[in-house]
Amino acid sequence: MLEKVELLMKSHIEAIGDSHVLGLYEKVPKGKRLRAKLILKIASQNQQAIELAAVVELIHAASLLHDDVIDDALTRRGEDSINALFGNKTSIMLGDILYAKGFFELSKLPSQVAQIISNAVVQLSTGELLDVELAHEFNTNAELYFDMIYKKTASLIEASATAAAYLAHKDVHKYAIYGKNLGLAFQIIDDILDITQNAQTLGKPALNDFKEGKTTLPYLYMYEKLTQIEQEKLLALFAKTLSEDEASWIQAKMQDTQAITQAIQHAKKLGEEALQMIADEGSTDLENIMKAMIEREF
Ligand code: FPP
Ligand code: MG
């Protein structure tokens, strides 16, 4: 089924009729296709689910083409990013093409579905803007962090689950909560891995978020537990390129203060709430998606 989504995405790009665009598209690193998997699991018997999955993955890919420009990221999923290979302008424009084509195809789906997805894209763009603004200074407000990750990441995953449930005539509310919590937990785990994994596993430099000015959940938890002197030391390192010693100090403090454990617990709690929500829907696949996502290492 996922293969069908992949082929449909490609045929949408082929239909544009521009070999340069198609060549660029083929160099976009492919991801885990989490959103497509989720849609197919929820609405598997529905032909429109494949179309929805292709549209959502095109939009998601577009957002990452823009995000890598915003974040100056030279790698994506361990491969060269489009901006690293061809420059920022190409990455932005290719993002616009995937985004616009995705919306063109979305307009052929039921209007309820189109509204759920397009509203999420407004949210995710707002979330990205908030992410950029929060990076200007060390953020100690957990509520702002949660609002930002909800919009930036969870909104499109929530919308994917909701739209799929709508197509499959399932309980939209239950799947919305599942999708929202899956999205929140996904981003929290992503933020943890940035601290705990090495560059090779991540396919991007470790501790990159802090260097980019992003005070993610483990930093928020750690900051609360540090002494005043340690807090000052951490603030002095904020948004700087770290030496090996400085990076090791942060990683050691993350362990000492149990900030990582606390952040994992939070992601697990979100996962459990999501599973309770869909417990009587009888989907072991959705349970497995949640478990695999929380236990993943990259
Ligand atoms: C990755 O975050 C970024 C997102 C999930 C959303 C990006 C959204 C936009 C750029 C706005 C929408 C634009 C379009 C064209 C729809 P991250 O930087 O924390 O994660 P990363 O480590 O994967 O880069
Ligand atoms: Mg990024």
Specify the 3-state DSSP secondary structure of 187: helix
Locate the ligand 1 atom nearest the alpha carbon of residue 98 and give its number: 15
209 lines ligand 1 (CB under 6 A): no
Could you tell me if 102 and 118 lie in one domain?
Answer: no
Could you tell me if 34 and 89 lie in one domain?
Answer: yes
Q: Residue-wise pLDDT tens for the chain (298 aa)?
A: 899 999 999 999 999 999 999 999 999 999 889 999 999 999 987 889 999 999 999 999 999 999 999 999 898 988 999 999 999 999 999 999 999 999 999 999 999 999 999 999 999 999 999 999 999 999 999 999 999 999 999 999 999 999 999 999 999 999 999 999 999 999 999 999 999 887 677 666 678 899 999 999 999 999 999 999 999 999 999 999 988 899 899 999 999 999 999 999 999 999 999 998 888 877 788 989 888 888 776 6
Give the ligand with the smallest distance to the CA of 66: 1
Could you tell me if 65 and 196 lie in one domain?
Answer: no
- The last residue of one of the domains, among 72, 90, 109, is 109
Nearest CA owner, ligand 1 atom 5? 153
121 lines ligand 1 (CB under 6 A): yes
Among 183, 195, 145, smallest CA distance to 294 is for: 183
CATH of the domain at 154: 1.10.600.10
Count of domains for the chain: 2
Q: What value does the CA radius of gyration of the chain take, rounded to a whole number of Å? A: 19
**In contact, 14 and 6? CB cutoff 8 Å:** no
- Return the DSSP state at 76: E
Could you tell me if 101 and 150 lie in one domain?
Answer: no
Could you tell me if 242 and 204 lie in one domain?
Answer: yes
**In contact, 216 and 208? CB cutoff 8 Å:** no
**In contact, 181 and 275? CB cutoff 8 Å:** no
Could you tell me if 92 and 117 lie in one domain?
Answer: no
CA of residue 73 to ligand 2 center, whole Å: 7
Residue appearing with tokens 């939009």: 59
Specify the 3-state DSSP secondary structure of 128: helix
Sequence-ordered list of residues with C-beta below 8 angstroms from that of 262, at least 6 positions apart, any chain = 218, 221
Which of 35, 99, 119, 128 should be mutated for ligand 1, with most atoms under 8 A from CB?
A: 128
> Domain span at residue 228?
110-298
Locate the ligand 1 atom nearest the alpha carbon of residue 194 and give its number: 22
